Structure 1
Amino acid sequence: MSDGILVVNAGSSSIKVKLYAIDDADLVPLLSGGMSGIGSAPLLSVTDGNGAVLEERRFEPGEIADASAAQHQLADWFSRHGSAESIIAVGHRVVHGGPDFAEPVLVDDAVLRRLETFIPLAPLHQLGNLDPIRVLRQRRPDLPQVACFDTAFHRGHPELADRFALPRFLHGEGVRRYGFHGLSFEYVAGRLRDLAPGTADGRVVVAHLGSGASLCALKAGRSQETTMSFTALDGLPMGTRCGALDPGVVLHLIEHKGMTPAEIGHMLYRESGLLGLSGLSNDVRTLLASDRPEAAMAVAYFCRRVAQATAALAVTLGGLDAFVFTAGIGENAPEIRRRIIAELGWAGLILSNDANRSGAARLDAEGSRAQIWIVPTDEERMIARHTMRLLGRTAPGAAA
């Protein structure tokens, strides 16, 4: 069996895994799957490279209470089915690299301890990211594990994009704009260079629109500024996260509503965004299908904020040559794409309705002042490439 790279993308309630075989010409997906519904309705599912179901097993909630238990189950499955022997390294998505980590790194005790200090900066994600690393270090201490950071792609920002208007000593202590979704933006930047090299060298805004959402301003394929900042709460409204918020609201909730930091954190991370605006759902499909005015307002709010943030990033770039949609909503919701581009009509962006409905790669109509693209993201493949590079092996298809 060919050598393989296992990619682990773990969150607070799910773990996604993907096993790639290392081929001379490409990274070939062999297995995909994971554990969803951790702590509530756990479901283990695995498919082969062609999408055929190999395993689907449900558990009682108490059986899979956290990411550690889920990773043990996944590791057991790979061992039982003879796939573990082929794995030469594991690459992990780790949301927050803090001020220390500007590129992927091999995990050792010191790295793991440092990454644990960033848990308060990404409470929904960081702990879940690190638990599978601990489990695999216990089970296979000889197996190289690589942490790939969502913040790393943004670490080259100019100072103007990195700072808050706070006392300078806080910046030195790590209170700065980090940005997230970097693995997605990095992959999309590479794919755009394949699709439209001249455009990729220009001024591009990429919209990663999913349950978590952020925009990134690219110039010559490098991040210049992004909408998320110190935490993944900032910027655009998301499925359940609030996005940009007057900090005075937090003071008000503490001083006049008597809420604790934990209660406020729960509300801002889990009860806000599209869910909070609509009172109905965090899923744009549900909101678009609803006839409730609150649902319509939530969708309009989301599209307006995306357009406003795009305008702000165009100032950073000094103009706009292309706008790129990616991630779950960006790739699969033509009505959301239509509304966002309509909000940007003042800037001369014109959408081809036929291309948009069909989900074509390029969406701009004749006369549009900027190109409009859909570029599907692939964070797992990006992690696999980084893992191979850190092991000193050439990453197949690295330009993609």
Structure 2
Amino acid sequence: MKNILVINTGSSSFKFQLIQMPAEKVLASGLVERIGQQNSEIHFTSEGYSGKQEQDVPNHSVALKAVTNLLMDPEKGVIKNASDITAIGHRVVHGGTTFSETTVINDEVKQEIKSLFSLAPLHNPPNLTGIEVAEEVFPNAKQVAVFDTAFHSSIPAKAYKYAIPNKLTEENDIRLYGFHGTSHKYVSEQAIEKLGKSDSKIISVHLGNGCSITAVENGKSVDHSMGFTPLSGLIMGTRSGDIDPSVIFHLVDKLGYSLKEVNEILTKKSGMLGLTGFSDLRDIETEAQKGNRECKLALEMNAYRIKKYIGSYVAAMNGLDLLVFTAGIGENSSTMRNLICENMDFLGIELDPSKNDIRSKENRIISSESSKVKVMVIPTNEELEIARQVDKLV
């Protein structure tokens, strides 16, 4: 038996699971959310405890140390000391062209992850922090990186290339990479199992603070909304998603912003935060229900962008068998799912309102009996997928 600690550091959250492999038994799990905000919360569940505590969590380093203390707590915890951990699987967002598979971490790997900071500024830095803190706390455990970009290595050139001089693609690796790959891989495999056939056409919609959508044909990623970095595509918590590149030149040349300021605006001050003043969709939905026009419009814009991607991927695959919603918003927001799927009957997508309103942690169909395309909510389990890959490697 191996105890594998899986660390998944998002842009504003820190998820973890301690999984006993190969039995796939979860010994402990939890979430640190709203990192860097005043109302941070630590959720922790083990066999003998389930609860949450409010704590000041200014950064990801503090988050990991707090989780480690809980894991080794005499009453709440599940391990006695650090040596009980066999390996640690780290979700790393950007692997560039260097990494297309799960990799044991050494100094060279860490340096490569660091070199990609500029391409994933919200993610690779906390990913590397998680690795470095884990090395300190668990010095005897094998550290392993699982890259978000790996699942998208199957995307064909017609989809991953940009219409820029070939030299920039060939010599500077400027291309679409794709992200949230571990999540899209997990839920698409669950969807294929539900369909009972491998020759399938699936669209996986991952909606959280970061959002992305993937076209999955016969189990392989064939197109994806994020590109060179996790900035493009759908509207996100603080990221703009797709935008005319000329806006950047206008901000710099005409309005006097520096490139650093523009990068800050597009990655940390745009998206739902820029539109509403809130980055958390729960707050935005609450305000929209109160009649806040900006919040109502932002929800409509968010859904409209997703609709356009769904339509384009149906065209690209010449069909669709199953539409999947996953991640925090995709799994829990019936409002967003309804906004996305309404008026999509031409494409054979029709929700059952009563099924859509059900809250559950189980895989479930939420489409109507007459819907030609099945619509499902499949809770993602990136941690289990990472543990499986780490287990194979170590």
One of 376, 379, 383 as aligned partner of 2:386? 383
Shift of 1:269: 1.4
Shift of 1:3: 3.2
Task: Summarize the Cα distance change of 1:12–1:361 in structure 2 as closer, same or farther, 3 Å threshold.
Answer: closer
Task: Summarize the Cα distance change of 1:12–1:213 in structure 2 as closer, same or farther, 3 Å threshold.
Answer: closer
Task: Summarize the Cα distance change of 1:351–1:232 in structure 2 as closer, same or farther, 3 Å threshold.
Answer: same
The residue aligned with 1:314 is: 314
Q: Which is further off, 134-143 or 176-185? A: 134-143
Shift of 1:203: 0.9
- The alignment status of 1:252 with 2:250, answered yes or no, reads yes
- The alignment status of 1:163 with 2:161, answered yes or no, reads yes
CA distance in 2, matches of 1:50, 1:80: 11
Task: Summarize the Cα distance change of 1:202–1:31 in structure 2 as closer, same or farther, 3 Å threshold.
Answer: same
The residue aligned with 1:396 is: none
Task: Tell me the amino acid that sits aligned with residue 378 of structure 1.
Answer: N
CA distance in 2, matches of 1:56, 1:310: 39
One of 351, 360, 365 as aligned partner of 1:362? 365
Shift of 1:148: 0.6
The residue aligned with 2:212 is: 214
Task: Summarize the Cα distance change of 1:235–1:56 in structure 2 as closer, same or farther, 3 Å threshold.
Answer: same
Task: Summarize the Cα distance change of 1:108–1:65 in structure 2 as closer, same or farther, 3 Å threshold.
Answer: same
Q: Which is further off, 133-142 or 75-84? A: 75-84
The residue aligned with 1:293 is: 293
Task: Summarize the Cα distance change of 1:343–1:255 in structure 2 as closer, same or farther, 3 Å threshold.
Answer: farther
Unaligned stretches of 5+ residues in structure 1: 392-400
Shift of 1:274: 1.8
- The alignment status of 1:28 with 2:28, answered yes or no, reads no
Shift of 1:106: 0.5
The residue aligned with 1:397 is: none
Q: Is the 8 A contact 2:83 2:141 kept in 1?
A: no
- Deviation readout 1:279-317 (Å, 9 max, x if unpaired): 455414334423022221111111111111111111221
Q: Is the 8 A contact 2:191 2:322 kept in 1?
A: no
Aligned positions of 1:70-109 closer than 5 A: 70-79=63-72, 81=74, 82-109=80-107
Task: Tell me the amino acid that sits aligned with residue 265 of structure 2.
Answer: M
CA distance in 2, matches of 1:367, 1:40: 45
The residue aligned with 2:178 is: 179
Shift of 1:345: 2.2
Shift of 1:51: 5.8
CA distance in 2, matches of 1:144, 1:338: 44
Q: Report sequence identity in percent.
A: 35
- The alignment status of 1:196 with 2:195, answered yes or no, reads yes
Any idea what SS the aligned residue of 1:358 has? Answer: coil
Q: Is the 8 A contact 2:93 2:147 kept in 1?
A: yes
Task: Tell me the amino acid that sits aligned with residue 377 of structure 1.
Answer: T
Q: Is the 8 A contact 2:3 2:21 kept in 1?
A: yes
Q: Which is further off, 285-294 or 3-12? A: 285-294
TM-score of the aligned structures, taking structure 2 as reference length: 0.90
Task: Summarize the Cα distance change of 1:307–1:50 in structure 2 as closer, same or farther, 3 Å threshold.
Answer: farther
CA distance in 2, matches of 1:349, 1:50: 43
The residue aligned with 2:348 is: 348
Q: Is the 8 A contact 1:279 1:294 kept in 2?
A: no
The residue aligned with 2:77 is: none
Q: Which is further off, 218-227 or 33-42? A: 33-42
Name the count of aligned residue pairs. Answer: 382
- Deviation readout 1:95-150 (Å, 9 max, x if unpaired): 10111111110001111111110000010110100112122324444321110111
Any idea what SS the aligned residue of 2:154 has? Answer: coil
Cα root mean square deviation, aligned: 2.2
CA distance in 2, matches of 1:310, 1:50: 43
Any idea what SS the aligned residue of 1:263 has? Answer: helix
CA distance in 2, matches of 1:167, 1:259: 27
Task: Summarize the Cα distance change of 1:288–1:380 in structure 2 as closer, same or farther, 3 Å threshold.
Answer: farther
CA distance in 1, matches of 2:34, 2:340: 32
Q: Which is further off, 74-83 or 320-329? A: 74-83
Q: Is the 8 A contact 1:206 1:215 kept in 2?
A: yes
CA distance in 2, matches of 1:105, 1:251: 38
Q: Is the 8 A contact 2:12 2:35 kept in 1?
A: yes
The residue aligned with 1:398 is: none
CA distance in 1, matches of 2:325, 2:221: 16
Q: Is the 8 A contact 1:21 1:30 kept in 2?
A: yes
CA distance in 2, matches of 1:49, 1:300: 42
The residue aligned with 2:259 is: 261
Task: Summarize the Cα distance change of 1:325–1:253 in structure 2 as closer, same or farther, 3 Å threshold.
Answer: same
CA distance in 2, matches of 1:278, 1:355: 29
Task: Tell me the amino acid that sits aligned with residue 176 of structure 1.
Answer: R
- Deviation readout 1:321-341 (Å, 9 max, x if unpaired): 211111112111122212211
Q: Is the 8 A contact 1:78 1:84 kept in 2?
A: no
The residue aligned with 1:150 is: 148
The residue aligned with 1:395 is: none
Unaligned stretches of 5+ residues in structure 2: 75-79
